[in-house]
C-alpha cells in the first residue's frame, strides 16, 4: 500500500487526479471505477480542468460507479447518477453510452446486481477504482459485517451511514434505507485502487483501515491485501497514523 500525505484537501485532490490523468494519457480507453461523496469532488474538478485544457479526454473511457441508492429517482439531486452528471459527466467529453451506475430502481434488483457484475467483466474489468471512506470504514456501501460481500449486491444501510448522509437530504427519513453496491470482491478485482480521505473526522478510520487488523467489521481494511493501492490523505486525516 502506498501512502501519500497531502498538505490539504486541494493537494489531495490534485494528487488523486494526477493518477487518473496519467492513466488516461497512457490508456485513453481505460475502464474507470468511480465514487461519490464529498471527498472526490475536488478530484473531479481537477479532471474537468484537465479535460477543458485538452490534457486528457474521456471520449473513449468507460466508467462504472460503485453504488446507487435504491428507490430514489435518478433525477433526484441526491441520486448518485445526478451527482456524477453534475460533477463530471456533463462537464467532459464522455460518451453517455459508456457510463454505468447500478439501477437502484430496477424491478428485479438481484438480476440488476448480476447484470452489473457481468457488464464490468465484459468491459474487461476495472483498470482503476476510486474510493472514498465511510466513517465506519465502508467502501462503496459495503457496511461493517461479519463477512466480506463478494459481488454487487443490495445492502441495508446502517444507521450511522444514514445519519452521515442525512446532511444531503431534507430529513433523515428521506435518506434511502437500501442501496446497490459493488461487492468487496468486485472492488478487489480492480487492477489499481486509489482511496481518498480528508479531514480529522476520518483520521481514526484511516488508521484502522490502513494499519489495523484486516476484518469485515472494518471493510476498508481488506485493501491491505490488494497489490496496488494508493491511499491519499490530507494532514488532518493522517493525524492518527503511526508516526513511523
Contact set with ligand GLP (CB under 6 A): 35-39, 66-67, 132-134, 140-141, 161, 165
User: Residue 56 or residue 116: which is nearer to ligand GLP going by CB?
Assistant: 116
Q: What is the DSSP letter of 149?
A: -
**Whole-angstrom distance, CA of residue 199 vs CA of residue 39:** 9
Active site residue 67: yes
Contacts of 12 (CB under 8 A, 6+ apart): 4, 6, 42, 196, 198, 232, 233, 234
User: Residue 79 or residue 165: which is nearer to ligand GLP going by CB?
Assistant: 165
User: Residue 29 or residue 38: which is nearer to ligand GLP going by CB?
Assistant: 38
Q: Give the nearest residue (CB) to ligand GLP.
A: 132
User: Residue 23 or residue 182: which is nearer to ligand GLP going by CB?
Assistant: 182
* CA nearest to 220, candidates 244, 187, 178, 242: 187
| CB of 40 vs ligand GLP, minimal distance in Å | 7
**Whole-angstrom distance, CA of residue 84 vs CA of residue 101:** 9
Buried b / exposed e along 91-111 (16+ C-beta atoms within 10 A): bbebeeebbbbbbbbbeebee
| CB of 168 vs ligand GLP, minimal distance in Å | 9
* CA nearest to 175, candidates 150, 153, 157: 157
Among residues 68, 112, 117, 143, the one annotated as catalytic is: 143
Separate counts of helices (H) and strands (E) for the chain: 7, 10
| CB of 54 vs ligand GLP, minimal distance in Å | 29
Active site residue 138: yes
Among residues 65, 68, 112, 138, the one annotated as catalytic is: 138
| CB of 7 vs ligand GLP, minimal distance in Å | 19
**Whole-angstrom distance, CA of residue 90 vs CA of residue 78:** 16
Among residues 76, 136, 204, 226, the one annotated as catalytic is: 136
Give me the active site residues, please.
67, 136, 138, 143
Amino acid at each position: 500500500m502506498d501512502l501519500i500525505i497531502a498538505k490539504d484537501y486541494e493537494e489531495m485532490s490534485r494528487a488523486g487526479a494526477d493518477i487518473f490523468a496519467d492513466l488516461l494519457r497512457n490508456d485513453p480507453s481505460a475502464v474507470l471505477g468511480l465514487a461519490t461523496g464529498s471527498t472526490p469532488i475536488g478530484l473531479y474538478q481537477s479532471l474537468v480542468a484537465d479535460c477543458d485544457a485538452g490534457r486528457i479526454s474521456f471520449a473513449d473511457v468507460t466508467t462504472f460507479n460503485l453504488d446507487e441508492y435504491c428507490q430514489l429517482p435518478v433525477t433526484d439531486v441526491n441520486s448518485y447518477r445526478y451527482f456524477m452528471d453534475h460533477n463530471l459527466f456533463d462537464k467532459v467529453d464522455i460518451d453517455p453510452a459508456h457510463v454505468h451506475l447500478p439501477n437502484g430502481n430496477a424491478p428485479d434488483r438481484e438480476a440488476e446486481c448480476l447484470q452489473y457484475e457481468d457488464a464490468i467483466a465484459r468491459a474487461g474489468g476495472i483498470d482503476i477504482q476510486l474510493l472514498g471512506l465511510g466513517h465506519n470504514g465502508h467502501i462503496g456501501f459495503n457496511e461493517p459485517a461479519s463477512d466480506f460481500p463478494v459481488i454487487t449486491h443490495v445492502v441495508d444501510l446502517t444507521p450511522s451511514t444514514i445519519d452521515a448522509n442525512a446532511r444531503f437530504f431534507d430529513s433523515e427519513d428521506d435518506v434511502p434505507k437500501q442501496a446497490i453496491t459493488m461487492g468487496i470482491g468486485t472492488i478487489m478485482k480492480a487492477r489499481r485502487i486509489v482511496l481518498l480521505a480528508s479531514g480529522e473526522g476520518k483520521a481514526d478510520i484511516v488508521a484502522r483501515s490502513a494499519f489495523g487488523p484486516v476484518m469485515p467489521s472494518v471493510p476498508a481494511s481488506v485493501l491491505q491485501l490488494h497489490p496496488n493501492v494508493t491511499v491519499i490523505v490530507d494532514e488532518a486525516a493522517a493525524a492518527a497514523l503511526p508516526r513511523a
